[in-house]
Amino acid sequence: MNLLLLLVLATVLGWWVGGRRPFGETTLRVGQMVMLAAVGALVFGMGLSLGQRPDIVSQMARLGLRAVSLSLSGAVGAIIAVATVRRLWRERRA
């Protein structure tokens, strides 16, 4: 809920700033750079938190194949389901 509120506030702020030249273009450029840097920091943190947990590292070899197969099957299942439904929608419209 807090994230939703933050997103709405930032969107309103972005809309307000975006209409004022040259701030709009600068906001977009800076926003993109901040996003990329933050994603890098976030996944580094995730890697760090995994790597420094010996219980997870030791189980990774034993349970890794199961985990990989389950994560891939979930991802592929979601993609196939959405692609199929979109195709059906398109065919119904045509």
In angstroms, the CA 47 to CA 57 distance is 11
Choice between 79 and 92, CB closer to other proteins:
79
Indicate which single residue of 21, 22, 52, 91 sits in contact with other proteins (rule: CB under 8 A): 52
Number of H helices, E strands in the chain: 3, 0
Asked if 94 is part of the footprint of other proteins (rule: CB under 8 A), the reply reads no
Lookup: tokens for 48: 């760090």
In angstroms, the CA 94 to CA 88 distance is 10
Asked if 21 is part of the footprint of other proteins (rule: CB under 8 A), the reply reads no
Lookup: tokens for 46: 């995730």
Indicate which single residue of 7, 22, 90, 93 sits in contact with other proteins (rule: CB under 8 A): 7
Contacting positions for other proteins (CB under 8 A): 3-4, 6-19, 24, 27-28, 31-32, 34-36, 38-54, 56-57, 59-60, 63-64, 66-83, 85-86
